[in-house]
Structures are given as C-alpha cells and as structure tokens.
Amino acid sequence: MNEFIDGLIVRRPHENAPDFIKAKISIKREALIKWLQKHNDEWINGDIKVSRENKLYVQVNDWKPNKQQDEKTIAGQKIDTGSDIKLEDIPF
C-alpha cells in the first residue's frame, strides 16, 4: 500500500535557482505533526518520486531487511558485513 507523508510537500526549484538546488520542501507543521504522531518508528524513510503529471511527491519507503537472512548478498555473492568483528580486534 502506498503511503504519503501528510504535511510534507516537494516541488521543483524555480527555473532561475542555482544548479545545486534540487528540490524545494514545504512543511505544513500541524499536518506533519499529526501524521508523525500516528507513527512510532524511530526512523521514517521517504522516496521523492515523479508523478505521471511530472510533479514531485514523497512516498513512505517501508522496506525492512529480512531479519531471517543471516548472510548478506549482492547479486548472489556473499559479502562480509563486519558483524563478526569485536571491538578488541580493531588495531587502533
């Protein structure tokens, strides 16, 4: 299910804005506070997307890692996440 963050609005920058400005964000304080109070997670992630009408919007990214999976992989290859490293093993 798609979820959007109430009170958080993303717009494209003004046409004369410098290149380093990628987007404008507006916050409707009361609406955002009300929305945040409904969510108990420490972190709330969002993705800035483009609608079919070419408008920017923020959608909640609710992806969570699979806690059942002990081995981390990229393209089927096991990677070392450093999870076996202990503080006393660090040489500095």
- Which of 64, 54, 66 shows the shortest CA–CA distance to 11? 54
- Residues 18-28: what's their mean pLDDT? 96
Whole-angstrom distance, CA of residue 4 vs CA of residue 57: 8
| Residue position matching structure tokens 């945040």 | 36
Say if residue 63's pLDDT is above 70. Answer: yes
Structure tokens at 8: 């958080």
Averaged confidence pLDDT in the chain: 84
Say if residue 56's pLDDT is above 80. Answer: yes
Domain ranges of the chain: 1-64
- Residues 32-52: what's their mean pLDDT? 94
User: Do 23 and 34 meet the contact criterion of CB atoms below 8 Å apart?
Assistant: no
